[in-house]
Amino acid sequence: MSEIWPYRSCGIPDELFERIEEIPMTKEEIRAITLSKARLKAGDTVVDVGSGSGSITVEAALLTQPNGLVYAVDHDERAVELTKRNCERFGVLEHVRILKAHAPEALLELPRFDCVIIGGGSEVLREILEACKLKGCERIVINAILVETAYRALESLKQLGFKQVEATYVFVAKGKQTKFGTALLSRNPVMVISASLGER
């Protein structure tokens, strides 16, 4: 249990994470939906592809404690260091292995894992999904900002024989106080795509 976030709910407020402007972060509402689609259990092994700031990594580690494990994979050294700092900040570093590596190669070198959450690697998405299937991964969740990524994901999941394929298009607007009242500022919509290899 984290001292900063002592709750059993997803969606840690964005401002609690350390941020770097150029490093992407999955925003709290998208993160909550993403993790609900992941269907994680205590003891699961999770891979976060394109960990960025590490927000998904941190929350997955909290959800799979006490004996779960999260592999955070990113090819950007700044993202790797930022993920590490946020894991330390939330007290989950002992439940996380951070890899500076490219997917899908990194996935093929890992031991078996239960779930993969993909926020990066859109240019090699099919190859990542093929690696997940080869490793017997039970659950896949993909966050797609680009329409082309969403299309590629849905087509690849279907062609590779994944089941329970679901696409949820999420629009979030956050309230901001102005002198006239509360204005709703829209964030980029995200397609959250999930699928299973088995019944999970």
Strands of the 45-49 sheet, one edge to the other: 96-100, 69-74, 45-49, 115-118, 139-144, 190-196, 163-170
**C-alpha span between 44 and 40 (Å, rounded):** 7
- DSSP result, 116-171: EEESS-GGGHHHHHHHHHHTT--EEEEEE-SHHHHHHHHHHHHHTT-EEEEEEEE-
Determine contact, residues 47/96, Cβ cutoff 8 Å.
no
Rounded to whole angstroms, the Cα distance separating 152 from 94 reads: 35
The whole-chain average pLDDT of the chain stands at: 95
14-196: CATH number: 3.40.50.150
The answer to whether 49 and 121 are in contact (CB under 8 A) is yes
Q: What is the pLDDT of residues 80-120, one digit of tens each?
A: 999 999 999 999 999 999 999 999 999 999 999 999 999 97
Model pLDDT, residue 8: 83
Instruction: State the amino acid at position 6 in one-letter form.
Output: P
Q: What is the C-alpha separation between 58 and 130, in angstroms, rounded?
A: 26
Tell me the domain boundaries of the chain: 14-196
For position 2, what pLDDT does the model report?
78
Residue with tokens 């770097």: 20
pLDDT along the chain (200 residues), means of 10: 85 96 94 97 97 98 96 97 98 97 96 94 91 96 96 96 96 94 93 93
Identify residue 124 by its one-letter amino acid code.
V
